Every structure is written in C-alpha cells, then in structure tokens.
C-alpha cells in the first residue's frame, strides 16, 4: 500500500499478543485472510459512503471521474451523461455514460467487480483516479444496500459489438461474479441490430445526442464509450455537498467537458463546454528517488529484473543518471555491480540514506497538465456570475519527489447563491430538506450564507428561525423567496472556496484541507477584503484552487482533503497571493473610479448654481448661460478624468490597466447581465 493511505495492512495476519483466556491455538482458528472487499464493506466511510446522501454523490463522482480520465487519456472531447432516477424509497438508480474509448471485454468484470484493480495506481501520471478502488467500491455499495448488480455497457468501436455485463462482487474473494449471459456477459451487435437489442432487453444507453441546441434534429452518434448503472440506497438533496454542486464545480474546472444531467425530478441541466481544447496529455514518469520510502525501496529491490545496482537505480527512478547511481552506491558503500535482489536490510537502509544525501535534480514536470490560466478564466466566467475574474498557474514544484502544481482562480462580484435560486427550486429544496430549522436550512443549503445572513433573511421574511422548513405554506415560501431576493448577502457572505485535486472537486472536510488552511492563512485584508483572524475573508468572492499532481496526497482514501505538506502550502500561498494582488488592483481601481464618479457628481451639482449666479451678474440670457454651463461641465469632466492618470501616492506614474494586472484577467462590465449558470431548462 502507499504511504499516503491510512488503510491497515488487511491481508496480513499479524501476531497477536497472548491473553490469558485464549491460547494461541484457539486464536489461530479464528485468524484468516480478510479480503479487501470485506474490509471495505465494513468500513464504507473510508471510501465516502458514510451516509445515504454522500453515498449517492460518491457513486456518481467515481463514475464521472473515471469517464473524464478515460476520455482525456484517449484524446476524446468528453460528452457525459448523468442520470439519477428514484427507484423506491431511499433508493436511486444512477447511470453515468461517456463517449470515451470503452473497455475491452475481458477487463470489464475486473474493473467493476474487483477492488484495487486499476490502471492508474502503478504509474506516476496525473489522473483523477489513482487507487483502483473507486468504481468497484461504488458498485459494491450498491449491491450491499439494494442487492442489485452493477450494469455495464461498453463499446470500443461502432463497428464492433458492444458488451453488456451485470456484475456482482463476491466480497469474500474480492472477485467479480457475472450474472448475465450465463456468466459470460452479453454481446450487443453493432449498428441497427444493436439498437433493437438494446430496446428489447431494456438496456440503458444513449446512442445519439444533439449537435447543438440550435439544431435539434442533427445528431452525433456515440461511437464508443462506457455506461455504468448502479442502484443504491441513497438520498437526493440539493445544496452544499450535493451531486448538483459536484457537477457544477466539475464544469468550472473542466471547461472542455459537456455534462447532460437529469436529476431525480427529471430536471435537465446541461453544463456545456466552453472550449474543445483538451488539456495537454500528461506524461507518465518513474518515481523520483526522494519520494520513495524505505519499505517501498525494499520491495522494488526484490521485484526488479535489473541485473546490477547501477541498472536498478537508473531504470527504476527518474533523474538518476549512471553518474548519480555511482555516487549513491559510493555513499552507501555498495558495489554498483551487485545484484539488487541480494541487498540485505542493512544495506537497503544505507542505500536509502545515501539517496537522501545525494544531490538529485528535481523530477520532470511534464507529467502534470495544468488547466491553464485562460481556461480557468473561461470556466469561472462560464459558470459563475461576477465582474472580475483572474487566474494564476504556478510553475511546477516538488514535494517528496512528487511533482505538483498549484492553480488559483478568483471570481469577484455577482449575485449570491440565495439570490440565484428560483421559486420552484426553493420550493423543492424546502420539501427535500431535513434541516430542523429554517435557519439551519439556509446555512446548509446555500453557499456563503453566514449566521448573520440567515438571520437577516429570516427577519426580513418575518419568520422565526426555528420554523421547520418542510412545513411552510405557499405564502410563507413566497415570503421567504422575496426576502432572499431582497437581502444582499454579498457584503457579509464569506468567500466561497472551490477545492480541486486533479480537476476533481473536493466537497467535504474543508477544515482538514491544506487548501482551506492556506486560504484562511492568507492575509486578504491586504487585498481589500474584510477578514477576521482565523476566518475566511468576507465578500462576494469565489476562489478556486487546483492541486495537480501525479500523486495527490489525500488525508484519506475518500479523497476529501489534501494533506498539508510544507512545499504544497508554500505554493498555495504564492498562488493565492498572485490572485490576491490582482484583486487588490481591481478593487482599488473600482474604488478610484467610484470616487472619481462621486467627485464629478459633486462638481456637476454646483455648476448649475455657478452658471446661474454668473448669468445674473452678467445679465446673461439663456443661451450664454447654457453655453457657460456647458463649458464648465466640460472642464469638470476633463478634471475628473485627468485625476485617473495623475501621479500615484508613491510618485510613480500610474501604468495603464492591462500592464498593471498582468495577463489573464477578465473584467466583465457589471451593467451587462452576467452569464447564466449553465443552460438550465427543467422539463418536469
């Protein structure tokens, strides 16, 4: 297992200390292998299946992450479908499909029916999934809670038959059990015949999709792809930590993706791509010696086929030339020609130490593919309202031999989440909510609503904070809706932080996450936002932070929070400061423009009086008076415009806006209506 996981070594039967009542023999009778599947069946929370609501999200998330990984690896612009359907009380059927490369027949059962089976664990390459647990764990959870098998359709080419599997996991053996086609799965013929087969056998599969909204009759044919359907015990509830939020945030960090989403109420939402440009393909790398632990080193020595130590070092690791290998061996006092398999524990120890003492250049960084500043701007602007956007991609850095890279985007301004919601959506949200009080409902459903904000809304709506959200009458909902519209939270809402690891949104455990910690640790007051000590800053502002790495150090298997390595913290800080500085420039400029506007207004206010007074003294008629007024207005405008190009306090000539901000800043005229958050047409 990797050092980053907290998973106990479940396949080993450890020696137990003796107790008086039992003998070693009696215990031995009970000691046996624990399969990974069995272990996780008992410890679902480790994989994000702690409660029904989160389970639903996690299942969708595992499937979508896989789809996006597969598309990216295959160089396909991703088109994804997410369908959630109610299938009984506390039961949902989720279907996730992609237009990716598909999966070859013999791999399908293992991928979906065996835990710790994947293509991503044993390599160092940036991807969303990394452990090989995700989708099979989701399937297993579904099976354990509903007894229904996981259904997979996969097509690798329009000319070849597609495969259809219904799989169950034998948790004791951690092995797949194929239910359909007499244990062999079914083949769906290619072409027209396949269509008929699919309909006849009630198989779910999207085969066509519209080219664009404008041309509903022109269709793309799905030429390849995978669809996984899981039925599970779950709970659907919008708001924070929901599927909807996950998809929206995914769309922000993945502007190349289009997601067709149908929620359990049959509401259809399309998050459409803002670019067809795929992120550059990350290169797979070998581990860097600094990132290896002693245990791993021992295993690698055992497993290697290299005949000599020198060869072992140069072929197993990146950045180890024969010169470096020689140096390491010298320091470790081990012969370069020695057989790696014969290295003893002691020697391995000194080898490990020697590696740390030898200067080895940092790993290559082309294994990471950043979203890039311009696509971050696109993603943010496409999905979030705002008047100012900026982004910063940091150069790659290394923690424990693993290359990583930090990207930060920031959106400022726009309406708050409580103002965006429609009356229908609010009604749904209220009926779905299990919050005990209205105040709790507001706090848990909407982003950036603090206790103060919730109280403000409720007092405006003249409603008690203790009122139960699900028992509101129609008029009360109208009242609440109006209050939510009227109360402007943007001034005292706290910053919304969108966290991403390899483009996957992190929706839970914000407090435990290095990203949140460094956002809080940044002094935003210096950049013009209000912030109290140890708190998120306040204002209508959203920050997205992307940690990209060949190996993201999560704090647990459920991939919810990033561990705070000092190198990562440092890069996070620098990235946040970069967008902070841009924000400060923008806010200052906005303030200045406002002040200029106010100044101008003050001048204009008095000009009429002055012109009149002069006209009275000079016995002017209307014409010359108006002429004088016009001239004074002209001078006033020139005066206030001139002030903007005047010297700054520090005596330095003020540069023009573009130069000040640097690149990758997007300013949206606030008068313009902000871009809608995805095109959303409920069809219920």
Partner 1 sequence: MAKKTKSTSDKPNRSTKDRKTLGSIRDLADTVVQSAGRGREPYVDIPSRSLSNVRFNQSKRIIEMGSGTNRRELFNLAQARSYMQTLLVASGCKQLIDQGKTTSIRGLFYLLKHTIEGTSEETFDTQNECDPVIEDIEVSLDSMREELHLYAKNAGAMVGPITLVDSGDTIDCSRMGSGGYSIPSIVEQDIVQFKKNTAKFILHVEKDTVWRRFNEDKFWRKHNCILTHGGGQPPRGVRRMLHRLHHELKLPVYCLLDNDPWGYYIYSVIKQGSINLAYESRRMAIPDARFLGLRSLDYGRCQLSPSVQIKLNEQDIKRARQIAQYTWFVNKKPWQKEIELMLKNGFKLEVEALISKDISYVTEQYVPARLKEGEFLD
Ligand X SMILES: Nc1ncnc2c1ncn2[C@@H]1O[C@H](COP(=O)(O)OP(=O)(O)OP(=O)(O)O)[C@@H](O)[C@H]1O
Q: Which residues bind ligand X (CB under 6 A)?
A: 62, 66-67, 70, 98, 100-101, 103, 111, 118-120, 129-136, 226
- Shortest distance in whole angstroms from residue 641 CB to partner 1: 12
What's the 3-state SS for 437-469? Answer: CHHHHHHHHCCCCCHHHHHHHHHHCCCCCCCCH
Distance, in Å, from the CA atom of 174 to the CA atom of 659, rounded to the nearest integer, reads: 59
Partner in contact with 29, chosen from ligand X, partner 1, Mg ion, none, beta carbon below 5 to 8 Å by kind: none
> In angstroms, what is the minimal distance from the CB of 497 to partner 1?
40
| Cβ 234 to partner 1 shortest distance, Å | 59
Using alpha carbons, select from 195, 576, 182, 210 the residue that is nearest to residue 407: 576
Indicate the residue among 302 and 638 with the shorter CB distance to partner 1. 638
Backbone dihedral region for residue 322 (phi beyond 0: left; psi -120 to 50: alpha; all else: beta): alpha
d(CA 27, CA 16): 9
**Per CB under 8 A, does 608 bind partner 1?**
yes
In the complex, minimum distance from the CB of residue 656 to partner 1, in angstroms, rounded to a whole number: 24
Interface with Mg ion includes 134 (CB under 5 A)?
Answer: yes
638 binds, among partner 1, ligand X, Mg ion, none (CB under 5 to 8 A by kind): partner 1
Sorted by sequence, the CB contacts under 8 Å of residue 449 that are 6+ apart come out as 416, 417, 418, 442, 443, 457, 489, 493
Nearest residue by C-beta to ligand X? 129
Among residues 22, 24, 610, 641, the one that binds partner 1 under rule CB under 8 A: 610
Confirm or reject binding of residue 367 to partner 1 (CB under 8 A).
Answer: no
**132 vs 580, which CB is nearer to ligand X?**
132
What's the Cα-to-Cα distance from 395 to each of 26, 320, 378, 529, rounded to whole Å?
59, 23, 20, 26
Q: One symbol per residue from 578 to 607: x for binding partner 1 (CB under 8 A), - otherwise; what is it?
A: ---------------------x--xx-xxx
* Nearer Cβ to ligand X (47/666): 47
Q: How far apart are the first and last CA of the chain?
A: 47
Q: Is 190 helix (H, G, I), strand (E, B) or coil?
A: coil
175-178 and 162-170 strand pairing: antiparallel
Cβ proximity to Mg ion: between 134 and 537 the closer is 134
Spatial separation of the C-alpha atoms in residues 418 and 465, rounded to whole Å: 16
The number of angstroms, rounded, from the C-alpha of 153 to the middle of its chain's C-alpha atoms is 26
**Number of Cβ atoms within 10 Å of the Cβ of 86:** 15
Closest CA to 313 of 346, 351, 349: 351
Shortest CB 65 distance to Mg ion, Å: 5
379 contact, one of partner 1, Mg ion, ligand X, none, CB 5-8 Å limit per kind: none
Query: In whole angstroms, how close is the CB of 600 to partner 1 at the nearest point?
Result: 10
Q: Which of ligand X, Mg ion, partner 1, none interacts with 634 (beta carbon under 5 to 8 A by kind)?
A: partner 1
Tokens of 16: 């137990």
Residues 616-675 touching partner 1, rule: CB under 8 A, are 616-619, 628, 631-632, 634-636, 638-639
Helix intervals (H) in 533-621: 566-618
Q: How far is the CB of 366 from partner 1 (least distance, A)?
A: 56
Find the binding residues for Mg ion in span 103-132 (CB under 5 A): 129
* 58 φ/ψ angles, rounded to the nearest 5 degrees: -60, -40
Q: For partner 1, give the closer residue by CB, 458 or 632.
A: 632
> Which of these, 219, 203, 229, lies nearest to 97 by C-alpha position?
229
**Binds 132, which of ligand X, Mg ion, partner 1, none (CB < 5 to 8 A, cut-off by type)?**
ligand X
Q: Pick what 100 binds: ligand X, partner 1, Mg ion, none; C-beta below 5 to 8 Å, kind-dependent.
A: ligand X
Considering only residues 50 to 109 of the shown chain, the ones binding Mg ion according to CB under 5 A are 66
Q: How far is the CB of 642 from partner 1 (least distance, A)?
A: 10
- Strand 162-170 and strand 186-188: the pairing is antiparallel
User: Which parts of 142-297 are beta strand (E)?
Assistant: 150-155, 162-170, 175-178, 186-188, 208-210, 219-221, 225-233, 258-262, 267-271
- Residue placing its CB nearer to Mg ion in the complex, 57 or 355: 57
Residue placing its CB nearer to Mg ion in the complex, 129 or 537 = 129
Among 105, 590, 612, 654, binds partner 1 (CB under 8 A): 612
Q: Hey, is 271 helix, strand or coil?
A: strand
SS percent in the chain: helix, strand, coil, step 5? 45, 15, 40
Q: How many residues bind partner 1 (CB under 8 A)?
A: 25
Q: One symbol per residue from 207 to 236: x for binding partner 1 (CB under 8 A), - otherwise; what is it?
A: ------------------------------
Residue 147 CB, shortest distance to Mg ion, in Å, is: 24
List residues binding Mg ion (CB under 5 A). 66, 129, 134
List residues binding partner 1 (CB under 8 A). 599, 602-603, 605-610, 612-619, 628, 631-632, 634-636, 638-639
């Amino acid at each position: 297992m990797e050092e980053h996981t907290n998973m106990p070594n479940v396949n080993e039967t450890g020696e137990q200390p003796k107790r008086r009542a039992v003998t070693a023999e009696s215990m031995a009778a009970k000691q046996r292998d624990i399969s990974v599947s069995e272990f996780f069946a008992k410890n679902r929370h480790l994989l994000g299946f702690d409660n029904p609501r989160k389970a639903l999200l996690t299942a969708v998330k595992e499937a979508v992450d896989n789809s996006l990984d597969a598309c990216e690896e295959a160089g396909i612009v991703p088109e994804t479908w997410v369908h959630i359907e109610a299938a009984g009380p506390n039961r949902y059927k989720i279907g996730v499909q992609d237009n990716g490369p598909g999966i070859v027949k013999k791999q399908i059962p293992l991928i979906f029916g065996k835990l710790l089976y994947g293509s991503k664990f044993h390599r160092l390459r940036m991807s969303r999934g990394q452990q090989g647990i995700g989708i099979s764990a989701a399937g297993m959870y579904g099976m354990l809670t509903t007894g229904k098998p996981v259904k997979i359709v996969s097509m690798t080419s329009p000319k070849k038959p597609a495969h259809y599997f219904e799989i169950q996991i034998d948790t004791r053996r951690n092995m797949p059990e194929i239910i359909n086609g007499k244990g062999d799965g079914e083949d769906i013929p290619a072409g027209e015949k396949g269509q008929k087969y699919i309909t006849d056998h009630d198989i779910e599969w999207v085969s066509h999709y519209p080219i664009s909204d404008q041309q509903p009759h022109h269709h793309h044919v799905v030429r390849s792809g995978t669809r996984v359907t899981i039925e599970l015990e779950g709970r659907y509830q919008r708001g924070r930590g929901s599927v909807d939020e996950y998809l929206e945030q995914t769309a922000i960090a993945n502007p190349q993706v289009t997601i067709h989403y149908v929620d359990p109420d049959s509401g259809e939402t399309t998050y459409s791509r803002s670019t067809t440009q795929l992120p550059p393909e990350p290169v797979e790398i070998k581990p860097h010696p600094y990132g290896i632990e002693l245990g791993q080193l021992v295993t690698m020595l055992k497993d290697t086929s290299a005949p000599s130590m020198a060869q072992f070092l140069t072929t197993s690791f990146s950045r180890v030339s024969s010169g470096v290998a020689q140096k390491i061996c010298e320091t470790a006092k081990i012969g370069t020609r020695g057989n790696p398999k014969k290295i003893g524990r002691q020697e391995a120890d000194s080898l490990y130490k020697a590696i740390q003492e030898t200067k080895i250049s940092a790993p290559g960084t082309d294994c990471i593919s950043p979203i890039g500043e311009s696509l971050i701007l696109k993603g943010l602007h496409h999905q979030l309202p705002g008047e100012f956007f900026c982004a910063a991609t940091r150069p790659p850095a290394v923690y424990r031999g693993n290359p990583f890279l930090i990207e930060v985007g920031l959106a400022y301004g726009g309406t708050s989440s409580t103002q965006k919601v429609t009356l229908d959506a609010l009604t749904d949200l209220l009926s779905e909510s299990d919050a005990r009080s209205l105040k709790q409902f507001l706090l848990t459903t909407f982003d950036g609503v603090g206790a103060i904000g919730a109280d403000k809304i409720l007092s405006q709506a003249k409603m008690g904070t203790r009122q139960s959200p699900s028992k509101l009458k129609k008029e009360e909902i109208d009242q609440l809706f109006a209050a939510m519209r009227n109360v402007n939270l943007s001034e005292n809402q706290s910053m919304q932080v969108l966290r991403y690891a390899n483009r996957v949104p992190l929706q839970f455990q914000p407090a435990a996450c290095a990203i949140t910690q460094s956002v809080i640790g940044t002094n935003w007051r210096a950049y013009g936002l209000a912030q109290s000590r140890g708190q998120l800053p306040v204002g209508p502002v959203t920050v997205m932070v992307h940690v990209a790495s060949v190996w993201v150090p999560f704090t647990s298997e459920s991939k919810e929070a990033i561990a705070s390595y000092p190198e990562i913290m440092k890069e996070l800080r620098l990235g946040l400061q970069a967008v902070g500085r841009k924000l400060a420039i923008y806010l200052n400029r906005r303030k200045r423009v406002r002040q200029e506007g106010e100044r101008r207004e003050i001048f204009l206010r008095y000009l009429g009086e002055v012109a009149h007074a002069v006209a009275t003294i000079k016995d002017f008629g209307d014409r010359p008076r108006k002429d004088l007024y016009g001239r004074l207005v002209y001078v006033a405008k020139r005066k206030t415009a001139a002030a903007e190009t005047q010297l700054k306090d520090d005596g330095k000539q003020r540069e023009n806006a573009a130069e000040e901000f640097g690149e990758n800043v997007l300013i949206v005229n606030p008068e313009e209506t902000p871009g809608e958050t995805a095109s959303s047409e409920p069809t219920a």
